Structure 1
Amino acid sequence: KPELHASMVELGTPICHTSKEVKAALFEQRAHISQLAAERGLQIAAASTHPFSHWLGQEISPYERYYKTVQDHQIIAQRMLIFGMHVHIGIEDRDMAIDCMNVVRYMLPHILALTTSSPFWSGRATGLKSYRSILFEELPRTGLPEEFGSWAAFDRFVKRLINTGCIADGSKIWWDVRPHYAFPTLEFRVPDICTRAEEAVAVASLIQALVAWLCELRKRNMTFRTYRPDLIYENKWRALRHGLDGRMIDFGKEEEVSAKSLVRE
């Protein structure tokens, strides 16, 4: 599929019901695109920034939606030579999806720490494990979502943005996790792209397991504690700065621990 920059290639699996199906689809797609590139003397690498390519040398894909994106966001959009991994988890109950989004925000830095793959930008080492995360938040309506009390409350929020000319539709909300406005899914957008396909499958499976667990808790009138976004941002910064090599905050215990131990927990 085309993307904003003509040099990007977007891969998308069909709807999968098991990790085995995800693995089969992703492995097949990555192998196919690698073969097509090899036939042209090129190589493919999965990462969330290109190690040396510069955004100034990139062409915008010749589609109206992408021209409109550049028109609206100017140099910010032109600099978006970044690549993310989006995982959709099907949740038919829209209120359940909202409740899950509220709670799972705490776990987004953990997911990011597992996937960081963008330490380079325009031929330079940035000193960050996920420079993509910094670049993407230059756009509006990115980062952590606020807490919503129901699907109806979220729907009112989206319609207010549409009615005031802020966005054309709900797809222009680019939070780290969002309820997809057209499909009954909760879309996780925080991960960097996993360079190894098997790790991408593992992360997608982990996200599905987290959502299933949170939904099961809610069905039993239980839930996981929610935390203020500014506290979660502290862990997100640590995740994008150090990945799994640093330390994060266990806000339940109010202490600093290794990122690896917090993710494992």
Structure 2
Amino acid sequence: MALEPFQQSAALSLGVELELQLVNTHDYDLAPYSDEMLRLMANFELPGAVVPEMTSAMIEISTGVCQSSSQVLAELSQIRDALVKCADKLNIAVVGGGTHPFQQWHERRIYDKPRFHELSALYGYLSKQFTIFGQHVHVGCPDADSALLMLHRMSRYIPHFIALSASSPYVQGHDTQFDSARLNSVFAFPMSGRAPYTLSWDEFGKFFAKTTRTGVVKSMKDFYWDIRPKPEYGTIEIRVFDTPLTVERAAALAGFVQSLASWFLHEQPFIPVEDDYMVYTYNRFQACRFGLDAVYVDPVTGLHMPLRERIAMTLRAIGDHARQLGASAGVQLLGEDAELGTNDARWLREKQARERLLAEVTRQGAMRFRGRG
């Protein structure tokens, strides 16, 4: 099977997807209401799309093609407001976060869609354990080779993305001691991890042809990489973000990605090399485990430094690009959070320390998502 051509897109354009939790308002456990939500949401004229996900207590929303993080925020807010209205009619709630704090994975139902049933047959219990919730950010690239260069440059910043978005400390009622436990579930899949190192679309096409010949994959959808090219959109897709608790943070993270991409395109700050990946898994683990308190290992010098210090350096480097793109406010907020060690995982833990009841934490998370928390 040949790799499809890389389509044209506007450089630095954005698209954002958010996987969201549907919970009942009795005990705030997950509720299998995605069909009912989709039916009600069909009555609204909205940007982007609203679609089902692997299990029936999940729903995914996405923006259209956006030019700025402020447009991302406007579209996500419009969809969020419609979701809240529909959820209220069903007496359920919508919540952000990378994991539901206390749901039991064996109780989940696979959504009735052929691809989801195929994945369930292939992956067994992992399919139900995939009731986890992420934010995906697409960024437009000028051409196919530029997309691969962008992908491998972005890979140095995977720990930044993980720590700033981390919102999954709890799994099945327990504090995992990870800020982002969600990514441990993703890593269980055989085609997860990182993309192969190549800066040539022709070489990438050869790799794709080899993998499809083996029958291991049938399309790009079968790669669960942290970042993957999306030739049908002309983008790369960054997939390591936990779903934030608010659409404002989701838009700020998209602005961070766009500002980084602008820095890469206009200043060409470095050329990635395969040796960058020698510390990739270690840095990824550190960010998942410790969040903004992680240690970051520079892939070039081997220097160890606090990740929050590395984030501050990065934000200074991209500051002019963030201002030009209108992303300064969101990027500044992320910088302040990095300095203070504040992310959504910390918010969830602080609420649980006070409330001593994860159902109440989830209720407050639902209020926060609707803009009242």
TM interval, shorter chain, is: over 0.9
Three-state SS of the structure 2 residue aligned to 1:11 is: strand
Measure how far apart 1:74 and its partner are: 1.3
1:168 and 2:215 matched:
no
Q: Which residue of 1 aligns with 2:270?
A: 223
Q: Report what 1:91 is aligned to.
A: 141
Higher strand share: 2
Aligned twin of 2:348: none
Match of 1:239 in 2: 287
Alignment of 1:66-77 (within 5 A): 66-77=116-127
- Return the alpha-carbon distance in structure 1 between the equivalents of residues 108 and 127 of structure 2: 12
Unaligned runs of 5+ in 1: none
For residue 214 of structure 1, the aligned residue among 242, 264, 270 is 264
Contact 2:105 2:129 in 1 (8 A): yes
Deviation at 1:225, TM superposition (A): 4.5
Asked if 1:159 corresponds to 2:209, the answer is: yes
RMSD value over aligned CA atoms? Answer: 1.5
Of the structure 1 ranges 49-58 and 174-183, higher mean CA displacement relative to structure 2 is found in 174-183
SS in 1 for 2:253: helix
| Distance in 1 separating the partners of 2:135 and 2:110 | 20
Give the structure-1-normalised TM-score.
Answer: 0.94
The residue that corresponds to 1:111 in the other structure is 161
Aligned counterpart, 2:244: 194
Contact 1:86–1:189 (CA<8 Å) still a contact in 2? yes
Query: Does residue 1:44 correspond to 2:113, yes or no?
Result: no
Large movers: runs of 4+ above 4 Å: none
Query: 8 Å contact 2:162–2:241 — kept in the other structure?
Result: yes
Larger radius of gyration: 2
Q: Distance in 1 between matches of 2:142 and 2:204?
A: 16
Shift of 1:68: 0.4
Whole-angstrom CA distance in 2 between matches of 1:180 and 1:159: 16
Shift, 1:251, TM fit:
4.0
Helix, strand or coil at the partner of 1:191: strand
For the residue of structure 2 that corresponds to 1:186, the secondary structure is strand
> 2:124 aligned with 1:124, yes or no?
no
User: Residue deviations 1:71-100, cap 9 Å, x none?
Assistant: 111122221111111000011310000111
Deviation string for 1:155-185 (max 9, x for gaps)? 1111221122111112211110111132200
Deviations 1:205-255 (A, max 9, x none): 11011112212234xxx6345443230211111100011133322344533
Q: Distance in 1 between matches of 2:298 and 2:148?
A: 24
Match of 1:249 in 2: 297
Letter in 1 for 2:308: K
1:30 aligns with 2:30: no
**Letter of the structure 2 residue corresponding to residue 259 of structure 1:** L
What's the TM-score, normalizing by structure 2? 0.67
Query: Structure 1 CA distance, aligned partners of 2:302 and 2:113?
Result: 49
Aligned equivalent of 1:20: 70
SS class of match (2:93): coil
Q: Structure 2 residue aligned with 1:260, among 308, 316, 341?
A: 308
Q: Secondary structure at the match of 2:138?
A: strand
Distance 1:42 1:83 in 2: 18
Structure 2 unpaired stretches of 5+: 1-50, 314-373
C-alpha distance in structure 1 between counterparts of 2:124 and 2:240, whole Å: 23
